[in-house]
Each structure stands twice: as structure tokens, then as C-alpha cells.
Copies of this chain bind each other. A is one copy, B any other.
Amino acid sequence: MASPYEFIETHRERFEDELKSFLRIKSVSADSTCKPAIEEACQFVARKMRSAGLATEIIPTVGNPLVYGESLLAPGQPTILVYGHYDVQPSDPDDKWESPAFEPTVRGGNIYARGATDDKGQMYLHLNAIEAWMKTVGKLPINVKVIIEGEEEVGSSGIGDALSTLKDRLSCDAVVISDSSMYAPDQPAITYGLKGICYFEIYLDGPKRDLHSGTFGGSVKNPINALTEMLAQLVDPDGRVRVPGFYDDVLPLSEAERTSIARLPFSDEEYRSEMGVDDLFGEKGYSTLERRWARPTCDINGIWGGYQGEGAKTVLPAKAGAKFSFRLVPNQEPSKIESALKAYLEEIKPKGISIAIKHHHGAAAVVVPLESPTVRAASRALQKAYGKKPFYIREGGSIPICSSFKEVLGVDSLLLGFGLNDDNTHSPNEKFCLKDYHRGALAIAYLFEELANKGDG
């Protein structure tokens, strides 16, 4: 009988074909016209789980449905909950993609498609690992629950709402999530910290109709001018957030952690060149990795208003708007930030303008302890799959559900990322290295064995 590890090796082609089919499904959760694709992606995941040998069911929520599967045939062994998501970010700007976002294309050992790394590829490799155990050994060496949601990119409200109801069903010793990056090519990492997020949209209303900027300019506040004035007051030029009270609860980085981050191989100059900018940016007094991983930030994610077409139009528009988000660090509470922001915006709002604010989603940051049997097992599994010890890193991205798992299930999440920083998540030409797709499955297959192996040391 082949081992699970051999099974993964010999089924590379089929696993890649399955991933391609999955990536063709345009499951953009932010776009309500993609509802049928959301349903299709959900069914696709359910079929794979069933064929991998999990008892599978689709769980409806207030939003997009969850796919749940389990195999609990290892009494006395630990139980893990694998979490992932089948929804993806919007693909625009589509004209910047070298191959279409929803026609997966392999170039240079990478598969290019929206969702390749975030999170379809990284999520699916867990199902490949489960299938490998099931179809060789006939069962898993530990107890595994899998929950895959369809709204991670828009705030996880469906699973968030269902979580307390599902509490007993999802009870576990640890959550395992692959939705982040390695430190560098061939250098695996365990991510022990994630930022939180608060995402907002602001709408400004000025005059009741678009006006001629010559005839009316200087008498009526222009909503775009007002918008730039307000947004410019969100952060100072170095990126320090100006919302009163924003930093009140920020947990400072410990000296030990700063030392450990400083020890990682990182070149500002290489990073600057890779980003294609003439200067890096950010809050004074912190290194680039510290700013990216452990300091709160504010980015405007989109802005619009007035005439965006070719040539000149002398309009004083009736409306303008923007999307912006804060990344939060441990101990900052999204709901407190939301209240502080709303009060601040009302305070700095110019006369002659009315505003409306929409809160898209919020999530607290998480940091997990490095000293745990789960982390140690993961370290050994990564070493077996990659032949190298993992680095311990943090990440600027947010996985909103992590803090909910901690709160409701009382467990930490193990973040094993198999992507790379240049995978273009949320950008055109998103990719995932196929080698890591398979090494990732291998690492997860080893993780099951390592978690079962109590010789922890």
C-alpha cells in the first residue's frame, strides 16, 4: 500500500486539474451578480470533501452557505478544525491581467487566476492531504473537522453569525488555516500574528445636482474637495492615524519580539526595488517588517467623484465617495475604533456637506502563543515537507474569523501559509506556485501524523 505522501506525489496532475476547475468558478463575494457562482463553488467543495471521504454537509447561513465535513475515527487523538474560504476578491482591473482572472493559466511553474493563493489553492491542498490519508491508510490518524466559508473577503458575516450555534459541532483542540504566505520561496513559516481590520465606506452629498464649476464655484462646497480634506485628516503624512484615541489600546511590541523580527533576513533596499517605488513609507521609529506586521495602518482602498472620462469637464459634482480601512493590532477593538472614527468624521465634516458612513466589516487582531504542541507539530511537519525549519512571522493581512474562533471555541489558530508575498493577492495576476500546492498538501499530511504522534519534544 502506498503512503499518503506517495499518493500526493502520484496524483499531482489530477490535483492540479481539480484546482483549475475550482478556479474557473467566479465566486466573487463582493459582487451580488456572482451569487450563482458562489453556489457552484460551495457545491464544488462539498463534492471534493465527500470524495475525499468526509461526512459532508452544506450549512445555510444568513449569508453564503458553509461547507462542513468531518472524520472523527481516532478516539483519544486530538481534533483539529481546518478552516478556509471558497470566495474570492473582485478581479478588477481586468485589463491588467496577463491571462483572464477566471481562466487559470500555468506559466513558469505558477498557476495564475483570481483565488489561486487566496484561498482556493491553499484551502484545497488540505482536502488533497485528507484524501491522501483516506485513500491509502483508510482513515486519518487524528480527528479532523473542516469548515469552508464563502464570505471571507467581505467580512465573514455568515459564519460569524452561525458560530455560536455551531459551537459544539466545531469544538476542537486547534484551528488550522492556510491563507497566508511563507517567508520567502522555499522558506516555510508559521504565522503567529495577524492584524485586525475595520473597513468603511463614506458617501458625501453636496448640492442637489451637478453644477457648472464656473457659475457656482466658490459658493457651494465641492464634495470632492471636502472628501480630500476629510481623508487627508485620517492619517498624517507618515501614516500615523489621527483619529483621537486610535492608539490608546495598542499593545507595544516587546523588546524580545523586536529583536527576533530584526534577526530575520530582510533588505529594505531589495523590498523597495521589488515594490517599484523611490522610497519606502511609514510610521517613524519602526522597521519595515514591524510596520507591516505589528503597527496599525490606514489605507484608502478606493475613491470616486465627478468626471473620470477623457478630457476636461468643468463640473462641481453633487456627490463623492471613498472606501478606506484600518488595520488593527492586538488589543485594539474594532467597535471602539468604529465609534471613534464616526465621531471624528462628524467633527471634521465641512459645512455644506452631509455624510453617510457604512461599516463593511471589522475583526480584531490575533497573536497566538508559540509554545504549544500544535505549533511544535507544525514545525516538524514543515521541516519534513520542506527540509527546512520554519521561520516564525506575523502578517499584515486579516483573517477575521480567527478572533471569533478564539472567542467562541476558545482555541488558537495555527496559520500555515504556503503562498508568497508576490502572489498578487487582491491584485491582477494572482498566482500560486504549484510546487507549494503539492508541498503544502505534503506538510498537512505530515501534520496529521505529527499531531497524532505524542512523542512531542
Contact = CB atoms under 8 A, between A and B. Distances in A.
Given A299-B213, A307-B90, A327-B213, A396 B352 contact: no
Contact of A352 (B211, B231, B279): B279
Among A89, A309, A314, find the residue whose CB has the most chain B CB atoms closer than 10 A: A314
Contacts of A301: 213, 224, 306-307, 312-317
A90 to B, nearest CB: 6
A210 B428 CA distance: 7
Nearest to A33: B310
Interface in A225-280: 225, 227-229, 231-233, 235, 237, 239, 271, 275-280
Tell which of A228, A312, A323, A421 has the most Cβ of chain B within 10 Å: A312
B292 A211 contact: no
A209 interface: yes
Interface residues of A, number: 104
B278 A214 contact: no
A336 interface: no
A206 interface: yes
B310 A425 contact: no
A314 to B, nearest CB: 6
A377 interface: no
B31 A218 contact: no
A426 B201 CA distance: 28
B304 A308 contact: yes
A199 interface: yes
Interface in A66-111: 89-90, 92-93, 96
Contacts of A296: 218
B302 A225 contact: no
B218 A292 contact: yes
Interface stretch (A6-14, A53-61, A281-289): A281-289
Interface in A137-163: 153-155
Given A209-B424, A300-B228, A323-B312, A92 B214 contact: no
A327 B212 CA distance: 12
Given A280-B219, A292-B219, A297-B217, A231 B225 contact: yes
Contact of A275 (B220, B276, B327): B220
Contact of A360 (B31, B207, B225, B312): B312
A296 B217 CA distance: 9
B92 A309 contact: yes
Contact of A216 (B154, B211, B275): B275
Contacts of A215: 181, 292, 395-397, 421, 425
14 contacts: A92-B309, A195-B214, A208-B277, A209-B276, A209-B428, A224-B231, A224-B322, A225-B299, A225-B300, A278-B354, A300-B305, A301-B307, A313-B323, A314-B325
Given A31-B311, A213-B299, 9 more contacts: A210-B424, A212-B425, A215-B397, A218-B327, A237-B350, A299-B316, A301-B307, A302-B307, A303-B306
